[in-house]
Amino acid sequence: MKKIFRNLAYALLGGLMLSACSAEEFSGANGELPNASEFADNFKIYVDQETNTANFSFEETNGITPVWVIDGAYSSDFTLSKYYRKRGTYDVECFVKNRNGISKEGIKKQFTVEKTKMNGFGGFVEDSEFNMFKGLSLPSNPGNNDDPSHNPAFWYAPGWSQIAAPDCSLSKGCYTVKLPEATSERWQAQMALNNLGISTSSDKHYDFSVILTSNLGHSGVKVKLCQTDDDNVILLDKDIKLEAGEPKCLFGSDLEGVDISNLKIVFDFGGNKAGDEIMIESLVLKDHANDDGTEVPEEIKVPFDYNTAGNLWKAVDEAQSFVNTNWFGDAGWGAIDCSPVITHKGSKHTIIIPVETPAEQWHAQWALTEAPISIKMGQKVDFSCKVTTTAKLPLATFKLCDTGNDDSYLFADMYQNINGEYVVRYVDATIQGDKAGDMEKVKLVMDFAGAPVDAEITISDIVLIVK
């Protein structure tokens, strides 16, 4: 049946091509159709791997016109290009035509896009000789987990009542999972790749990455690497937030190894929206000692839970028991007269940078002062906050100190080139400084010297736990 439809499609293509030609083009037809195989070398395909653009060209020959069939569409252009977001090997069928018509048979060409195009880190090298998934035949018999023959195995249970497994397909190393019904809780939409035949060892460290895309966005997809028959033997357990339509890489670098004889990967889409479609691609697992040339970015730290019972700053936010102050200075340390827009709503504090300042520490200060939190010498403090910025910050300094004594502080560190999202996190910090002493009220000082004008910076989910 597929062959019938294919032949019909080519017949239609030929008819379209013929009808598009003028009478002059067909004058003097001798009845001989061209043979595409004779012009195989005339068809050229070059892929710009930096831009994921495939460039197609046909070396001109007298009386011959190319006919490209690319992703189901045809073109008679001598040169054309097409953008491919996703990694994979793609097929092109090439015909030729002359004044007598189009060739009966075409020739097939292939080209490869090496990496999925995306913003941010793209993962470790999938085609590296070190990748344990390279050459592995991924399981492709999806179904409910009550049948041991099914792999991937699903447990799909909106409202904790299991229903039929979602549609799942595997093409060119990419799984596409279609979730027709919404779920509300973690573990209500599980997908497991069982018995992968990959082993790890406790005497080694490992790198892992996978690229995930959600059509509708997801607040937190979970990925777990563990022993096939023991979910408690875990190499990696991480969540990742996905924006709609944006591929994102979940990764772990220099993971402490565990003894696993037969690896399983569990994906949980619990909390998905109805009708979401999720793609899973570019699986990489390798020994950390084997360098594939990947430059690994600094991972965003995991913040503490803003709603934890021990978070003293949540009460500060709720009562708005703090004072906003700011100071902006020029290159000569003269104060710049300006009034930045500063807002506070719930757990979010936002400032819009009003003026240009030198990229030199302490020239664009913003502080939340007079917060009624007391800390004594020797007490240990956990702190975290989320930072979101609309523009790259060349410098960003965070300092938590006594409102009345800048030389008594828990931390005072400068970070460089923060962009997008970042987490500032400290564990078991203690009071230090030249004039260290008990704190009666705390002040969170931030400095964004050199930030571009109109950069919008949000500090959210501040957590301060005094032990």
Residue 40 DSSP class? G
Q: Same domain, yes or no, for 457 and 334?
A: yes
Residues in the chain: 467
Q: Same domain, yes or no, for 179 and 276?
A: yes
Whether 106 maps to a domain, the answer reads yes
CATH number at residue 89: 2.60.40.10
Q: Same domain, yes or no, for 163 and 258?
A: yes
Q: Same domain, yes or no, for 180 and 282?
A: yes
Q: Which of 287, 320, 345 is the last residue of a domain?
A: 287
CATH number at residue 265: 2.60.120.260
Whether 47 maps to a domain, the answer reads yes
Tally of domains in the chain: 3
Q: Same domain, yes or no, for 196 and 321?
A: no
Q: Same domain, yes or no, for 398 and 454?
A: yes
Q: Which of 247, 270, 287 is the last residue of a domain?
A: 287
Query: Which residue in 334, 301, 308 sits closest to 424, CA to CA?
Result: 301
Q: Same domain, yes or no, for 457 and 317?
A: yes
Whether 154 maps to a domain, the answer reads yes
Place of tokens 């020739």: 107
Token digits of residue 141: 């018999």
Q: Same domain, yes or no, for 107 and 149?
A: no
The CA distance from 138 to 194, in Å, is 10
Whether 316 maps to a domain, the answer reads yes
Token digits of residue 459: 């500090």
Please give the pLDDT value at position 429.
95
- 384, 301 Cβ separation under 8 angstroms: yes
Whether 299 maps to a domain, the answer reads no
pLDDT digits (tens, 9 = 90+) for 75-98: 999 999 998 887 788 999 999 999
Whether 118 maps to a domain, the answer reads no
Whether this model's pTM surpasses 0.95: no
Q: Tell me the C-alpha to C-alpha distance, in Å, between residue 117 and each of 48, 52, 311, 398.
A: 12, 7, 40, 34
Please give the pLDDT value at position 134.
94
Regions of the chain with pLDDT less than 50 = 1-28
Q: Same domain, yes or no, for 192 and 244?
A: yes
Residue 433 belongs to what domain range?
Answer: 312-466
Query: Which residue in 269, 184, 174 sits closest to 223, CA to CA?
Result: 269
Q: Same domain, yes or no, for 269 and 360?
A: no
Q: Same domain, yes or no, for 447 and 362?
A: yes
* Peptide bond before residue 34 is cis, with ω within 30 degrees of 0: no
Please give the pLDDT value at position 30.
65
| DSSP labels, 67-103 | EEEETTEEE--SEEEEE--S-EEEEEEEEEEETTEE-
Whether 303 maps to a domain, the answer reads no
The CA distance from 213 to 242, in Å, is 7
Whether 160 maps to a domain, the answer reads yes
Q: Same domain, yes or no, for 233 and 357?
A: no
Please give the pLDDT value at position 7.
44
